[in-house]
Structure 1
């Protein structure tokens, strides 16, 4: 199971990178839920309405670590934008029936040229 979850996470990130909405939708369970600092417990339809956009601004995702235990996983990644900006996030995912059932995103600080950008106080 851990290998299946890791493979699903990597496939999901690859689908985001090429803006393959259908591949992402197929990876998400029908009762999928999404939470981030900007979104509270969105269902699958609302997630796509509010959060899905053109991912052409993403140059690449560097997955730094994936920890899987049973049907839960953490993934930390550095997202590099085409304009040179970057940020690091961590996501907590749960799985059911070979699909992603939930994603909780924890935003990291913005980075540029390998350094953290000052955050407004």
Structure 2
């Protein structure tokens, strides 16, 4: 199953980048929950209301690592914006059968031109 879970994650990132809301929705369980530094335990409907937006600002995602262990996975990726900004995030996935049941996002450092950009305090 780990290879299937890894493929599911890669397909989810590709669907998000393609702005394919239906494919993303299909990959998420009915009882899906989403948490990030800005959002606490959102259900699927609220996730799409509050977090879904046009992805034209993203040039690409570079998935650096995917670790799968049973029904859980950790993904570390770098997101490159069309304006040259970039950042690294870590996401913790939980699965139920062949669907994503939960995603917890941990925001990482901002980068530009290969250099760390300190964030305002």
Q: TM-score range by the shorter chain?
A: over 0.9
Gapped runs of 5+ residues in structure 1?
Answer: none
**Residue in 2 that maps onto 1:103:** 103
Q: Distance in 1 between matches of 2:117 and 2:82?
A: 17
Structure 1 residue 22 displacement after superposition: 0.2
**Residue in 2 that maps onto 1:17:** 17
Structure 1 residue 23 displacement after superposition: 0.3
Q: Distance in 1 between matches of 2:36 and 2:42?
A: 9
**Residue in 2 that maps onto 1:84:** 84
Structure 2 counterpart SS, 1:46: helix
Q: CA-atom RMSD, angstroms? A: 0.5
Trace 1:1-121 onto structure 2 (pairs within 5 A). 1-121=1-121
Q: Distance in 1 between matches of 2:61 and 2:82?
A: 11
Gapped runs of 5+ residues in structure 2?
Answer: none
Q: Distance in 2 between matches of 1:101 and 1:61?
A: 22
Structure 1 residue 45 displacement after superposition: 0.1
**Deviation string, structure 1 residues 32-80 (Cα, Å, up to 9, x no partner):** 0000000000000000000000001000000000000001000000000
Structure 1 residue 31 displacement after superposition: 0.1
Query: 4+ runs of 1 displaced by more than 2 Å?
Result: none
**Count of residues paired in the alignment:** 121
Q: Distance in 2 between matches of 1:115 and 1:17?
A: 24
Q: Distance in 1 between matches of 2:15 and 2:114?
A: 26
